Amino acid sequence: MKIGINALSIGDGMTGIGSYAWDMVNSLVEFGSEHSYCLVARKRLVKRKNWREIVVERADRWWEELHLPGELALWGADVYHSPIFTCPIVDEVPSVITIHDAIPEKRPDLCTKEFLSFYKARIYPSLRAAAKVITTSEFSRQEIIESLQVKPEKIHVIYQGISKEFNPDQRNKAEEWKKRLKLPENAGRYDREIGNTKPCRGNRVCFARRSAWPLCRSRGFCISFAI
């Protein structure tokens, strides 16, 4: 199978979507050698025989929606996957998009004006053009169905994998982190929850047990550590 992948979100300063795309590309390099791939990227990312790339420094909406399908069709792509929620409106090649959550619908106050403008301009044309939609949890699937009126049979949950960085061997570093953070000797298991790398300036930060997360969030706290 020939698979096109939107890798434009991969690069310096990339957010969660970029990390998702980068992890997917690395996993396909390691485990997906039976297929051929074409990355649409801002720079060269993979040097393998079964990988080719369309390098574009600046891809605007009209290039992505009208020119890219022709490029993919000439290559003979069977499917095009966009880890972000946009895809070409010209359906020369079937498209699959990933919608990670319904935050722009449920909590637009957490999004920038620029992102909301981009989202509103692209989400519905992309939903109409996409053959299938992927999301990463059943909770997100239900919210997307409710918020965007996506037919249930069109959207599928594909859970994210666990990186090799998160393995049992890391547990032996617990004592090191307890000392570094000056935690009490009888401290139990600690988890770090980070939504993004933006500073929580102006937000209240707290330490809380897992069971207290909903209460803390309802009172406006940004949870830094959970015990």
User: Which of 37-46, 67-76, 183-192 bottoms out in mean pLDDT, i.e. has the lowest?
Assistant: 183-192
Give the model's pLDDT for residue 91: 80
The number of helix segments (H) and strand segments (E) in the chain equals 8, 10
Residues of each domain in the chain carrying CATH 3.40.50.2000: 2-157
Mean pLDDT throughout 206-225? 50
Q: Are 9 and 84 in contact (CB under 8 A)?
A: yes
Q: What is the pTM of this model?
A: 0.74
Question: Percentages helix, strand, coil for the chain, rounded to the nearest 5?
Answer: 40, 20, 40
> What confidence score (pLDDT) does residue 202 get?
43
- Options 2.60.120.430, 3.60.70.12, 3.40.50.2000, 3.40.50.300; which CATH number does 2-157 get? 3.40.50.2000
**Position 193 pLDDT exceeds 60:** no
In DSSP notation, 164-205 reads TTSSGGGGGGHHHHHHHTT--TT----EE--S-SS--TTSEE
Give the per-residue pLDDT at 127: 95
